[in-house]
């Protein structure tokens, strides 16, 4: 089993269908499973990103104006911090 399959072994659903047994991909290539997870993560990101502007558009607008006023160095720090938190979270959840 490849490293990708070992990482994805706990996944029970592939394209809405239950796989059996866990960790064994019946008739589904590992690449397809990986792309399904990437698209699922992207879709979840859109849902989460849309919650705040939907609930409170005025506060969201003010928040975005603060980002526009930030200099490049500060904005890069925020982006790097978010990437580190995300990478550490994925590592912890997958180990």
N-to-C CA span, the chain: 17
Residues 6+ apart with CB under 8 A from 37: 8, 11
Q: Give me the tens of pLDDT residue by residue for the chain, a chain 95 residues long.
A: 445 544 444 455 555 555 555 555 555 555 556 777 788 888 999 999 999 999 999 999 999 999 899 999 999 999 999 999 989 988 888 77
Sign for the CA dihedral angle at 85, 61, 68, 49 comes to positive
For residues 68 and 10, what is the distance between their CA atoms, to the nearest angstrom?
Answer: 41
Can you give the residue ranges of every domain in the chain? Answer: 1-51, 56-95
Given this model, what pLDDT does residue 72 score? 94
Given this model, what pLDDT does residue 80 score? 96
Nearest C-alpha neighbor of 11 from the set 27, 2, 75, 30: 30
């Amino acid at each position: 089993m490849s490293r990708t399959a070992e990482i994805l072994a706990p996944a029970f659903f592939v394209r809405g269908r239950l796989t059996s047994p866990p960790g064994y991909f019946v008739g589904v290539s590992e690449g397809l499973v990986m792309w399904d997870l990437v698209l699922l993560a992207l879709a979840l990101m859109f849902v989460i990103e849309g919650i705040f502007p939907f609930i409170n558009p005025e506060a969201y607008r003010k928040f975005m104006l603060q980002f526009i006023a930030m200099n490049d160095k500060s904005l890069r720090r925020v982006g790097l911090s978010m990437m580190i938190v995300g990478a550490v979270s994925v590592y912890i959840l997958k180990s």
